[in-house]
Amino acid sequence: MSAVATGPVATGRNLGARIVDVFTSPKSGPVLVTGVLFLLMFAVGGVRYRGFLSGQVFLNLFIDNAYLIVLAIGMTFVILTGGIDLSVGAVVALSTIIAARLLQAGWSPGVVILLILAITSALGLLVGLMIHVFEVQPFIATLAAMFLARGLCYIIAKESITIDNPFFVSMANVRIPLGYRLSITPSVIIALLALAVAVWVLQYTRFGRTTYAIGGSEQSGMLMGLPTSRTKVLVYVISGFCSGLAGVLYAFYTLSGYALTAVGTELDAIAAVVIGGTLLTGGYGFVLGSALGVLVLGLIQTILSFEGSLSSWWTKIFIGALLLVFIILQKVLTSRRT
Amino acid sequence: MRNTLIQALSHRLFWPLALLVILLTVNVIAVPGFLAITINNEGHLFGSVIDILRNGAPTLIIAVGMTLVIATRGIDLSVGSVCAIAGAVACSIILGSPNPGDPGVVTVAVLTALALSLVVGLWNGFLVSVLGIQPIIATLILMTAGRGIAMLITEGQILTVDSAPFKFLGSGFLAGVPVATVVAAAILGLVALLTRRTALGLLIESVGINPEASRQAGVRARGLLFTVYAVCAVLAGIAGLILTSNQTAADANNTGLFIELDAILAVVIGGTALSGGRYSLTGTLVGALVIQTLVTTVYTVGIPPIATMVFKAAVVTAVCLLQSPTTSAALARRRTAGPASPRPVATPEPAVTR
């Protein structure tokens, strides 16, 4: 299934009808709705709070959520095939703790990062093989991987380890100026590069097309001669790799490794992907939408911190309520046509 | 003899049961008196097995509800949060009354907690059946927001209650058997009776196997889904009350944390597929027992607590791999290839692709 948003041929139809069509198509509709809601929330925040409507507040969304963007990328691949990956939060924690431990032992940062990416990709490969060869349901296979990764965290180190390696510290502190007193961190560039690669892979390669095809109908894809088995295993390798990369970015961000870090991050990633318009049953969705979903989650946090007086329980209720609003809006807007 | 063995091997509860036996054997080797059950002077049963049955009760109760939800091709992630809400409501009512030890107050507290759980379940059912939202996302909303609601009720505090009738639910004994175990057994029996002695179970399975076909055959899927999610939430509420009563405190953050994963795991170990359809309550019972025995084994064998999760991952992986269609196909090939085979064993049906 082509993922390019091609509106219906609009000969002799006015612009209004075309817009309605684009917004209510199951492919592009949810992403556009999310985009509009994001702008609305930003505008409402700008009206309510002083200093909200600034470029740096917008860029901070990227700085604070760079790791979540990378996680959501991997999750998008998996969900597009109709699977799910519950292990990503635990793998992020495992990556931070491996990084902290090895840097403490005096390893060079480059080797550590490569090793982390190799380990998490290998874990993804194992999960993928378990799902494909042994036909274990993704929910259960990745749940086992989650237990394994968290357990390994505890075995490596129970306490939080601070990272004082000069390279990691510089990655945390360096700001890349963009002019007009705006700046970003190197992590943002890494995340955006990953995003660009993911968009290219999903839209313009055979692998990407096969990913969509598996989500649409695995059997049809297989009968068409697409390499479904290989692709199905590979999406979990990609998710593992992305989790490792996200873990490295998270280590840049927090400068520590801790076994209990990033608990429940897998749900944030899944929520971001869903808000971004990817169907959990697979086949429909865009990786850019998932990035937009991450920004929406980040914006909720920002608004809550600007609001200031809200307690932590209201944060949870608020996020749940917004998740609901997004899902229902998408549902209503996209179901009109069918 | 050989035929019986082959039949036993191909039974879908063979591997979970074998695992349970292995785990128990390991325990008996580590602690020789593991299986012993003693009766103390008050007439209460004591022993490691009784502990497994009592501590496994909340997981089992939730897993029973989860089995029905999963059979309709759904999933309920909000059960852990429902546990927290039920505990928080009950504790705040008991604490708010002038006489916390009064059985009437406790009854009101328990019923209010269960009523609220029912409302939560109906909400989940509404999202899934009326709005048609995917179950995992529909219940994710309350999984996130539910703990917030529980914290709102407890105002962020841990509510400690000192009430004899309430404590009875979690740590009391009824005719020598722990109350939690009795409740779990009653629920399992009742649900089994209602779904297996009537057509209800068949209808639930048909909705899970093919929602569209069952709708055209006249099955009222919408009402069934409502019922199933409501039952699951009420059962989660009961489990939450047992957990809270056992700790004599409501902790909005930690009551029933990750219990949804254990419950789903119990259902899957018991042989019910997450893709819906055929379900097995007996399997769920075995699954819940396996999980609780696993936890107990960690303590008795002296596995360092830090390695617990790796151990759990290993066991879960082992069960899943042994139960997988690929493994049973490979085993079947080996059996048919053997010269001593009395008659060809029918090749297992090809794995169903989604």
Determine the distance in angstroms separating the CA of A67 from the nearest CA of chain B, rounded to an integer.
21
Interface membership of B149 toward A (CB under 8 Å): yes
The pLDDT value recorded for residue B337 is 64
Contact: B141, A139; criterion CB under 8 Å:
no
Contact: B140, A147; criterion CB under 8 Å:
no
Interface membership of B331 toward A (CB under 8 Å): no
Kindly identify which residue of chain A lies nearest to residue B320, measuring between CA atoms: A136
Contact: A314, B148; criterion CB under 8 Å:
yes
SS3 A184: strand
Whether pLDDT at B342 is above 50: no
Q: What is the 3-state secondary structure (H, E, C) of A133-169?
A: HCCCCHHHHHHHHHHHHHHHHHHHCCCCEECCCHHHH
Q: Measured between beta carbons, which residues in chain A are less than 8 angstroms from residue B144?
A: 267, 271, 316, 319-320, 323
pLDDT by residue, tens only, chain A of 338 residues: 444 444 444 455 677 777 777 666 666 777 888 888 888 888 888 888 877 778 888 888 899 899 999 999 999 999 999 888 989 999 999 999 999 999 888 888 889 999 999 999 999 999 999 998 888 888 888 988 998 998 898 888 888 888 888 888 888 888 888 877 788 888 999 999 999 999 999 999 999 989 998 988 888 888 888 888 889 999 999 999 999 999 999 999 988 888 888 777 888 898 888 888 887 777 888 899 999 999 988 888 888 888 776 666 777 787 788 778 777 876 776 665 44
Contact: A151, B307; criterion CB under 8 Å:
yes
The pLDDT value recorded for residue A25 is 67
The pLDDT value recorded for residue B320 is 79
Tell me the per-residue pLDDT of B32-67, one tens digit each, with 9 for 90 and over.
888 888 887 777 888 888 889 999 999 999 999 999
* Per-window interface: A 230-249 vs B, CB < 8 A: none
CB pairs under 8 A between A and B: 132
Q: Do the Cβ atoms of A153 and A259 come closer than 8 Å?
A: yes
Q: Measured between beta carbons, which residues in chain A are less than 8 angstroms from residue B274?
A: 137, 139-140
Tell me the per-residue pLDDT of B16-27, one tens digit each, with 9 for 90 and over.
888 889 888 988
Residues 6+ apart with CB under 8 A from B145: A316, A317, A319, A320, A321, B81
- Identify which of B148, B309, B317 has the shortest CB distance to residue A154: B309
Q: pLDDT band at B1, cuts 50/70/90? A: low
Contact: B140, A148; criterion CB under 8 Å:
no
Of A139 and B230, which is predicted with more confidence? B230
Span B317-340, average pLDDT: 74
The pLDDT value recorded for residue B145 is 87
The pLDDT value recorded for residue A261 is 81
Kindly identify which residue of chain B lies nearest to residue A322, measuring between CA atoms: B141
The pLDDT value recorded for residue A333 is 65
The pLDDT value recorded for residue A1 is 42
Beta strands in chain A (DSSP E): 161-162, 176-179, 182-184, 256-257
Minimum mean pLDDT range among A65-74, B82-91, B334-343: B334-343
Q: Measured between beta carbons, which residues in chain B are less than 8 angstroms from residue A328?
A: 131, 133
Kindly identify which residue of chain B lies nearest to residue A150, measuring between CA atoms: B309
Determine the distance in angstroms separating the CA of B5 from the nearest CA of chain A, rounded to an integer.
24
Whether pLDDT at B254 is above 90: no
The pLDDT value recorded for residue B85 is 95
Of B288 and B249, which is predicted with more confidence? B288
Domain B53-302 = CATH 3.30.70 = no
What ipTM did this prediction achieve?
Answer: 0.75
Determine the distance in angstroms separating the CA of A58 from the nearest CA of chain B, rounded to an integer.
25
Element (H, E) at A300: helix A287-307
CA A18 to chain centre: 30
Highest mean pLDDT among A166-180, A210-224, B146-160, B231-245 belongs to B231-245
Whether pLDDT at B150 is above 70: yes
Residues 6+ apart with CB under 8 A from B260: B62, B66, B76, B77, B78, B79, B80, B143
User: In whole numbers, what is the pLDDT of chain B averaged over residues?
Assistant: 85
Kindly identify which residue of chain A lies nearest to residue B274, measuring between CA atoms: A137
Contact: B152, A144; criterion CB under 8 Å:
no
Of B6 and A212, which is predicted with more confidence? A212
DSSP state of A111: H
- Identify which of A136, A271, A274 has the shortest CB distance to residue B324: A136
Nearest to B110 by CA among A285, B118, B23, A282: B118
Minimum mean pLDDT range among A83-97, A168-182, B197-211, B299-313: B299-313
* Per-window interface: A 66-105 vs B, CB < 8 A: 82, 84
Q: What is the 3-state secondary structure (H, E, C) of chain B?
A: CHHHHHHHHHCCCHHHHHHHHHHHHHHHHHCCCCCCCEECCCCCEECHHHHHHHHCHHHHHHHHHHHHHHHCCCCCCCHHHHHHHHHHHHHHHHHHCCCCCCHHHHHHHHHHHHHHHHHHHHHHHHHHHHCCCCHHHHHHHHHHHHHHHHHHHHCCCEEECCCHHHHHHHHCEECCEEHHHHHHHHHHHHHHHHHHCCCHHHHHHHHHHCHHHHHHCCCCHHHHHHHHHHHHHHHHHHHHHHHHHHHCEEECCCCCCCHHHHHHHHHHHCCCCCCCCCCCHHHHHHHHHHHHHHHHHHHHHCCCHHHHHHHHHHHHHHHHHHHCHHHHHHHHHHHHHCCCCCCCCCCCCCCCCC
Nearest to A240 by CA among A147, A125, A73, A149: A125
Q: Measured between beta carbons, which residues in chain A are less than 8 angstroms from residue B149?
A: 313, 317
Q: Measured between beta carbons, which residues in chain B are less than 8 angstroms from residue A270?
A: 137, 140
How do the domains of chain B map onto residue ranges? Answer: 53-302
Contact: B147, A158; criterion CB under 8 Å:
no
Whether pLDDT at B343 is above 50: no
The pLDDT value recorded for residue A12 is 52
Q: Do the Cβ atoms of B101 and B248 come closer than 8 Å?
A: no
How distant, in Å, are the alpha carbons of A4, A7, A81 from that of A221? 19, 24, 11
Q: At CA B293, angle to CA B292 and CA B297, rounded to 5?
A: 120
* Per-window interface: A 147-176 vs B, CB < 8 A: 147-148, 150-152, 154-155, 158
> How many whole angstroms separate alpha carbon A55 and alpha carbon B326?
55
Interface membership of B351 toward A (CB under 8 Å): yes
The pLDDT value recorded for residue A91 is 94
